[in-house]
Amino acid sequence: MGKCPFFWYAACIFIRFLGDVCYNALMQGQKFKQWTCRGRTLTFDRPAVMGIINVTPDSFYANSRALETDVAVDRGVDFFRDGARILDIGGESTRPGAEPVTPEEEIRRIVPVITALRKRCPEAFLSVDTRHTAVAAAALEAGADILNDVSACEPDAGMWNLAAASGAGYILMHARGNPKTMDSLTDYRNVTDDVLQTLLDTAARMEKLGISSEQIAFDPGLGFSKNHAGSLALLADTRRFASLPYPYLVAASRKRFLGEITGRAEAAERGPASVAAALWAVTEGADMVRVHDVRATADALKVFLAAKEARRE
């Protein structure tokens, strides 16, 4: 009987050693997800940071607003230098209650920014955040690679045909209604199950129309037709979405549900909470995080990845 504790201790050491060997072998042979965006391939050998560039006067986070073209372009260049692999340019606020913007005004705001960033950051992946086919088409002509359609489950007529014809990367984001109505559409049987099934069903419809599965990325739409509890549940369940073959984007940056958790009423006060949400997402397998605070997020991810790599050595 006196030998039993030693036996179990030795067995535990062996099991731990075997587990480490298997884990390292798995990681070395891992096949990373890839995203096809107009003939370019974004490989997620590490999480990608998407920097938010709001060419708008009314985005919910005032410090993110950059209505002047030069300011927006300089911000995008800084974001790319700070570690953003994707730059997401939007000309219409989609915060709850926001007033709609005409496609013509969106185009006027964003096309000069995309054109300049294409020249100054040729290696960056450029994304356009829009609900309108005409805006998406103008953005692609200016050099964008990705369509970030916040109404992707109920798209503007022609949006999917444009994606199929252009080969652009397509972010399929879950939402209900529009910025005026979405806060009244937050009831779900089970928010994770419902959102996941809707995204899968919508992706299947898109693929039947000729959009390659390699073009599609998923976004659960935190804060879009989700109450605080729903957004938190989706963030908590990141691993379920990230386990699918589609690249997975989490966009929690400075959103209201983070203020509900932290007691920070103003978006300007939610920077640390946003970095924490991004770290949680990548820990659970997210491929991309869409953020306002690129440098802080990229630096946090560098530490996270360095520690993860050191553990494997």
Catalytic residues: 255, 290
Specify whether the CB–CB gap between 64 and 54 falls below 8 A.
yes
Handedness of CA 222, 223, 227, 228 (dihedral sign): positive
Residue 300 corresponds to which tokens in the numbers above?
């946090």
Taking the C-alpha atoms of residue 1 and residue 225, their distance in angstroms, rounded to an integer, is: 61
Q: Per DSSP, what are the bridge partners of residue 88?
A: 52, 127
Residue 189 corresponds to which tokens in the numbers above?
């049987």
Strand 48-54 to strand 40-43: parallel, antiparallel, or no bridges (unpaired)?
Answer: unpaired
What is the amino acid identity at position 110? I
Task: Name the residue among 161, 157, 109 with its Cα closest to residue 131.
Answer: 157
Longest dimension (CA), the chain: 82
Task: Name the residue among 231, 211, 133, 113 with its Cα closest to residue 167.
Answer: 211
Task: Name the residue among 99, 100, 77 with its Cα closest to residue 87.
Answer: 77
Specify whether the CB–CB gap between 224 and 175 falls below 8 A.
yes
Residue 211 corresponds to which tokens in the numbers above?
């959009």
For residues 9-29, one letter each, b for 16 or more C-beta atoms within 10 angstroms of the residue's C-beta and e for the rest, the string is eeeeeeeeeeeeeeeeeeeee
Instruction: Could you list the beta-strand ranges (E) of 145-209.
Output: 146-149, 169-173
Residue 223 corresponds to which tokens in the numbers above?
């804060």
